[in-house]
A and B are shown apart, each in its own frame.
Chain A
Amino acid sequence: MSATSRRTLIKAAVALTVCAGVSASFTERAAAQATEIVYSTFLDPNNANDPRSAAQTKMIQAFESKHPDIKIRLLVDPTGQTVTRAVKSRSETPDVIRVVSFGLPEYAATGNLLALNDLVKKDGIPDDDWLLPLSTAQIDGKLYGLPQDFRIPILVYRKGALQEAGVTPPTTWEEVCAAGPKFKQPNINGFAVPLGATGGIGGAQSLAEFFLSTMLVGSDGRYFAPDGKIAFSKENFIRAGATIKDLFTKCKVTSLRSAQMGINEVHDGLRSGTIAMTNFGLYRFKTVQTQGAGDDLAWAPAPSYMPSDKQTVYSYSIALNKNSKKQDAAWTFMKFVISPEAQVIAAEGGEVVSRKSTYTAPYLQSEAAANQKRWAELVSQRGQAVSYSPILSTFHTILGEAFQRMVLKDETPENAYAEVVKRYDEALTKAQ
């Protein structure tokens, strides 16, 4: 090789190196410009059987195409344990947290959620364009989460089982009790009341979520005080305890087999038809239908003491990590998630989305969305938001054991109340 060629080769190599360095620096800068935020969710995008997962993916794609400078990374946490640990240990991620509203006080108590009041005010997010006013989601005057959807307990029943027994869907607890003797089949649980501790966030979550969070609250709307103390009355507790105990014992509409049931066992019972009816989460209705119950599964408003009584409503909310280093990007994402545009996508996944204005969208006028629309009306008409305990899973554990003792060991509702108050107060004192 000649000296000229060698020199040319060296020059070319130098030029290439410089070009590569410059373009790499531009590429890095371009990559650095896209802010990545971590969004924790229980919905696995790979779960092809859950339409909510597909809707979530579609919603994120819509956000990213609208905001190319922000990328969303999912932290899939079906049990919520990872996020709980992250929040409790002041982790910087996840930046945006999807959390059930009754779990919010537990997170807020750690001091690691950002109060959103100022941001909501600054961006003019209306208080009244929600199925329940946004202000009802506040904890001690501070808004820690924006509701994505709303959930109200409903009576889920098997039409065939009720027809065979000659029972019409009950609207009051008296009617539930009266249905007891009509169920003659030995393996049919007329009205399941799950007292067990399996599934959920811990303790007897299904008992609390579908029954007691409404029965204990009563008409005064008081469940827990802002300082975490019990705010429901003794009378409400004893009335609820007596009602549930009667369903098991006097009315014989509830089989003792319910005593160890949790959410999943009730789900399976409805699928298999061994449970004729129960109060359940509307978010499972479609799944139970597709998993075997089919058109035999139907729903009605949940029974209460008076047919028009309020029912406690909760939601899945999105919260902002106070320790996040990317709060601006995270807030941009949160605003999109609760925008009518994103809410329509979530509605296609089956959610009873939270914004009122979403319900004028074409999809929500279709037959496929008929139940969602009726549930949304139920939330608006009979829903009430309540304050929860900062140690709710502990409360559920105590509650479940007291009710199991009352039913299985024939304790009185008065003793159950004394047990719950004593153990809960001790636990709260320790926590504080």
Chain B
Amino acid sequence: MSASHTQAATATPGAGLLGDTSDTQSRARFSWIPYLWFAPAIVVLFLVTLYPTFFVGWLSFQKTRYYELTGFVGLANFYEVFGSSAFWNTVFVSLAYVVGSLAGAVVLGMAAALVLNNAGATGSVLRVFILFPWTLSMSVVGSIWLWLLNPSFGPIPYLMQAVGIEPGLMLGDPGLALPLIIIVTAWWSFPYVMVMATAAMQSIPKELYEAVEIDGGGALVKFRYVTLTHILPTLGSTALTLSIMYLTLMTLIIVMTGGGPLGSTTTLSFEAFRGTVQAVNIGPTAVVSIVVLLINVALGVVYTRLTGRVTG
């Protein structure tokens, strides 16, 4: 109804020449109703997303005593965090963790999708089984792998010994702990890549493969110029979703290594968690959270653009 009023008002030439017409027009144009409909969503969004985000931002400029703000300290928390070598070590560990896990998950997921895509009914059944790790909670995954990798009684070190490889300390080795956590994360998350890649592959028209065959192209050409070209945007957005998830993931680390040994598996999110639990002044921890947030926002922007491409 208000729309028709607006249309009528704007459609009348010279309406603005009369003294009280513009007021009447504004009244006709303005309506609280759309805002009222949106209000619950805006309130919920503010409470669960925006308020905590702004609060963490505000916290990063404060000194706190536990959760009580005790004074504005300007950029002191930022200087403290960015001036610490431990922070940069944590950034490096986080990036290595994200990149390593992503590489593992994408390679494994793609391989599984390609193999199972042409496997007919068997492929469908296997896909269900392969999806299993993704359905498990992180704490369960961590506990299972903690047992599998236990250097005293774990099956993996046992098998390594059986074939003549010295398993070493496994998660107790500062040089090996991060690669092992990366392998576990990739194992847990590759089914997601497989599902997304399979869905994208199944939407590729068969005619394109036939066209390549007519032109004499082999399997590699089909993969490079048809499959990969079509699934790349999906793969990109999947990779970004996983990157964001990896960057905020810490349950696996809490269960498997507690950030050790010697800080070799301490990521930014784990440090933010530990800081919130242990520190009296959580201002510097807020800075770490903001760094995670900014990286995720940047990845989110890229993700939005990629999904924009996918959905057209």
Contacts and interface: CB of A to CB of B under 8 A. Distances in A.
Contact of A401 (B150, B260, B279): B260
B296 interface: no
Contacts of B150: 265, 268
Contacts of B274: 202, 397
Interface residues of B, number: 32
A198 B257 contact: yes
Contact of A88 (B67, B169, B260): B67
A198 B256 contact: yes
Contacts, number: 99
B152 A187 contact: yes
B160 to A, nearest CB: 13
Given A260-B177, A394-B279, A404 B257 contact: no
A110 interface: yes
A260 B278 contact: no
Interface string A240-262: 00000000000000011111111
B233 interface: no
Interface stretch (A56-64, A164-172, A230-238, A269-277): A269-277
Contacts of A258: 172
Interface size class of chain A, counting residues whose CB lies under 8 Å from the partner chain: 35 or more
Interface of A: 81, 84-85, 88-90, 109-110, 187, 189, 195-199, 202-203, 255-262, 265, 268-269, 272, 274-275, 391, 393-394, 397, 400-401, 404-405, 408-409, 430-432
A187 B150 CA distance: 11
Given A85-B67, A257-B152, A259-B169, 7 more contacts: A187-B152, A196-B257, A199-B258, A202-B258, A260-B171, A268-B147, A430-B280
A259 B278 contact: no
A385 to B, nearest CB: 24
A257 B258 contact: no
Contact of A274 (B153, B174, B255): B153
Given A259-B169, A260-B177, A272-B153, A408 B280 contact: no
A260 B280 contact: no
Interface string B60-84: 0000001110000000000000000
B141 to A, nearest CB: 14
Contacts of A256: 169, 172
Would you list the 9 A-B pairs with minimal beta carbon distance, nearest first? A197-B258, A260-B172, A88-B66, A431-B280, A274-B152, A259-B172, A198-B258, A257-B151, A89-B67
A268 B153 CA distance: 9
B100 interface: no
B277 interface: yes
A424 to B, nearest CB: 12
Interface string B6-29: 000000000000000000000000
Q: Pick from B169, B177, B260, B279 the residue with the most CB of A within 10 Å.
A: B260
B280 A391 contact: yes
A126 B278 CA distance: 35
Contacts of A202: 258, 274, 277-278
B64 to A, nearest CB: 10
Nearest to A189: B152
Contact of A265 (B67, B146, B254, B280): B146
Interface string B136-175: 0000000000110011110000000000000001111110
Nearest to A264: B146
23 contacts: A85-B67, A88-B66, A88-B67, A89-B66, A109-B280, A195-B261, A196-B257, A196-B258, A196-B260, A197-B258, A202-B274, A202-B277, A260-B169, A260-B257, A268-B153, A393-B277, A401-B260, A401-B263, A404-B174, A404-B260, A404-B262, A408-B174, A408-B262
